Structure 1
Amino acid sequence: MSSNARFIDFKSDKQPTWCPGCGDFGTMNGIMKGLAETGNTPDETFVVAGIGCSGKIGTYMRSYALHGVHGRALPVGTGVKIARPDIEVVVAGGDGDGYSIGAGHFIHAVRRNIDLTYVVMDNRIYGLTKGQASPTSRSDFETSTTPDGPKQPPVNPLALALSAGGTFIAQSFSSNAKRHQEIVQKAIEHDGFSIVNTFSPCVTFNDVDTYDYFRDNIVDLDEADHDPTDREAAKDKILDNDKEYIGVLWEDEDATDYNTAHGVDEPMHEVPDGAPDGATDLVREFY
């Protein structure tokens, strides 16, 4: 990878249309800074996103990108990484996109240990569709469609990742710019599937899980004497419902990523038989 990339290199000329104050601004900035700090450049990076506010991120970043369909960003990212093991693949999603309709893909991407980074912008609500309860919403969170709350416990994505054999599990807060960048950077550097669940407050529809709430309740693992290579310690913190931890909870430093385990180390340049006319030229141009 090149070593002279800058944060500004990853910014596109498209102006974000997120609500002023949206946590996704900070989440995206941390991704771009993390990519630059790890020596990646836009032409060595592929960003995949699904549906929702988070789905716009590929438009706002300058790199190869694909805006997929709801809950299907991880299969696309998996295919890209297998076809092009030489480039950095970042998948961006939201809590609704990734932990509801995309939950099945999430589990299997974790257990395959594909070498990609999955950053989830968790605002604990469906923001783009105007404020419905999401899989990570509190059981008593009142919305227009759940006036008495969803009345079911929220999904714990970190617990799902750990139980599926995750090799890098982290949590971050979009407002803590320097710390968020550090966590994303570690995720990118990890050889294998990395999940960074990022608290990314929705200032328009969620007046419970706010910036002030997270600032008052976050515990930084760097200040909590936590050993990220201790799986039992990671499990205890992941299952602790009384605190909001940020940092790397668990990293298996000895894990082997999918491409390495299966000898998939060369780009796939061949176009399948039966591809449309002109496909070969397009592939050659891309490669």
Structure 2
Amino acid sequence: MAEPVALKLTAKDFKSDQEVRWCPGCGDYAILAAVQSFMPELGIPRENIVFVSGIGCSSRFPYYMNTYGLHSIHGRAPAIATGLSVSRPDLQTWVVTGDGDALSIGGNHLIHALRRNVNLKILLFNNRIYGLTKGQYSPTSEIGKITKSTPTGSADSPFNPISLALGAEASFVARTIDSDRKHLQSVLREAAEHKGSAFVEIYQNCNIFNDGAFDLLKEPETRDEAVIRLEHGQPITFGAQGEWCVVHPPGGFGLEVRETASVDPADIVVHNSSVPEPAYAFALSRLPGADLRHTPIGVFRSVQRSSYDDIVREQVSTATAKVTDPNAELASLLGSGDTWTIL
């Protein structure tokens, strides 16, 4: 990743000259503004930043960032970004994708980028619908979802993107919400500082084809009891007065929500995002039900391990150091064995 330097950039410097074209009221506008506003904090020249996207509403993102960018093909952004990250360590590489792009045709590319711990910042905009193709159900749509492609209700069980990322042993996994700018930017900062794959799921409202999908987490009268804010080193409590908490069930596995007054304070789980094994973070990711009650947001896991980029570059350097005359080695390779001359 490029080292920060002394620069005086503003959010305006990261706004391109392209007209932003999403549906009025789309949550993508809020995410774009948040990213453009926090980018100057990195102190990285714009020419050392690149955004790579696939196909979908979210994938228009590179057009609106005044950095380098690639609008690639459906689901393949992590693969293209992997090659870029490995070959250009001077760049900070971001992937912008959606729940359809990343988890359907791009599913294998996503999990292998995370498994390898490629030095990428992956932002997955999850609106639980296919927006660009006009409202079909997506891999994160709930069972029974009625859409143009499932008129009698979806029969598919949805992916939990956080659980999926943790199952792939991603070294950084987080979740945030498009309309909570302060929280969104705090998560982006941590992702930007992470060495290796940083996966951030962003709940994003599609007000045309799936409006209100996350209202439970946003409305003042419900959000306090629905949203669990994870803070490293702090007991996991939530509610307007902290009346709910997360504990280990007696004699059981996983985690559960209990009334704070009904448990010994010593039994309340203290959040630790740096636990080496992903089992604890995975248990946290299984808390929300289909109705989004008890939804954790924040950093689930942040651990350090060797990045794919560093390992590959070290292998190349080691192999190169053994070659005394590259031209002679190449000539020997091309001339070895049976050869044919075509005239």
Please give the TM-score of this superposition, normalised by the length of structure 2: 0.73
Task: Pick which of 154-163 and 174-183 moved more.
Answer: 154-163
**Residue matched to 2:309:** 259
Tell me by how many angstroms 1:164 deviates. 1.3
**Residue matched to 2:334:** none
Aligned pairs for 1:1-287 (under 5 A) are 1-4=4-7, 5-210=9-214, 212-215=215-218, 216=223, 217-222=226-231, 224=236, 225-230=270-275, 231-242=278-289, 243-252=294-303, 254-263=304-313
- Opposite residue 217 of structure 2, the aligned amino acid is F
- Which protein has greater RCO, CA pairs closer than 8 Å, 6+ apart? 1
Supply the distance in 2 between the matched residues of 1:28 and 1:79 (Cα, whole angstroms): 25
Secondary structure of the structure 1 residue equivalent to 2:213: coil
Q: Unaligned 5+ residue runs, structure 1?
A: 267-287
Supply the distance in 2 between the matched residues of 1:265 and 1:220 (Cα, whole angstroms): 41
Cα deviation, 1:219-254, whole Å, max 9, x if unaligned, reads 2113734211133331111122333221100111x3
Secondary structure of the structure 1 residue equivalent to 2:313: coil
Task: Tell me, yes or no, if the aligned pair for 1:27 and 1:121 is still in contact at 8 Å.
Answer: no
Tell me by how many angstroms 1:109 deviates. 0.3
Tell me by how many angstroms 1:265 deviates. 11
Supply the distance in 2 between the matched residues of 1:190 and 1:251 (Cα, whole angstroms): 8
Tell me by how many angstroms 1:105 deviates. 0.2
Task: Pick which of 21-30 and 80-89 moved more.
Answer: 21-30
Secondary structure of the structure 2 residue equivalent to 1:169: strand
Secondary structure of the structure 1 residue equivalent to 2:190: helix
**Residue matched to 1:284:** none
Supply the distance in 2 between the matched residues of 1:214 and 1:15 (Cα, whole angstroms): 30
Tell me by how many angstroms 1:29 deviates. 2.3
- The alignment covers a number of residue pairs equal to 265
Supply the distance in 2 between the matched residues of 1:48 and 1:265 (Cα, whole angstroms): 26
Secondary structure of the structure 2 residue equivalent to 1:97: helix
- Opposite residue 229 of structure 1, the aligned amino acid is S
- Opposite residue 40 of structure 2, the aligned amino acid is A
Supply the distance in 1 between the matched residues of 2:309 and 2:211 (Cα, whole angstroms): 43
Supply the distance in 1 between the matched residues of 2:308 and 2:38 (Cα, whole angstroms): 23
Supply the distance in 2 between the matched residues of 1:203 and 1:85 (Cα, whole angstroms): 38
Q: 1:33 to 1:3 in 2, by over 3 A?
A: farther
Supply the distance in 1 between the matched residues of 2:40 and 2:307 (Cα, whole angstroms): 22
Cα deviation, 1:150-173, whole Å, max 9, x if unaligned, reads 112111121121111210000110
Q: 1:48 to 1:265 in 2, by over 3 A?
A: farther
Tell me by how many angstroms 1:214 deviates. 2.4
Please identify the structure whose Cα radius of gyration is greater.
2
Task: Pick which of 149-158 and 84-93 moved more.
Answer: 149-158
Task: Tell me, yes or no, if the aligned pair for 2:288 and 2:296 is still in contact at 8 Å.
Answer: no
- Opposite residue 2 of structure 1, the aligned amino acid is V
Q: 1:17 to 1:265 in 2, by over 3 A?
A: farther
Calculate percent identity across the aligned residue pairs: 37
Q: Unaligned 5+ residue runs, structure 2?
A: 237-269, 317-343
Please give the TM-score of this superposition, normalised by the length of structure 1: 0.87
- Opposite residue 123 of structure 1, the aligned amino acid is N
Supply the distance in 1 between the matched residues of 2:36 and 2:119 (Cα, whole angstroms): 18
Tell me by how many angstroms 1:148 deviates. 2.3
Supply the distance in 2 between the matched residues of 1:41 and 1:123 (Cα, whole angstroms): 31
Tell me by how many angstroms 1:141 deviates. 1.4
Q: 1:255 to 1:33 in 2, by over 3 A?
A: farther
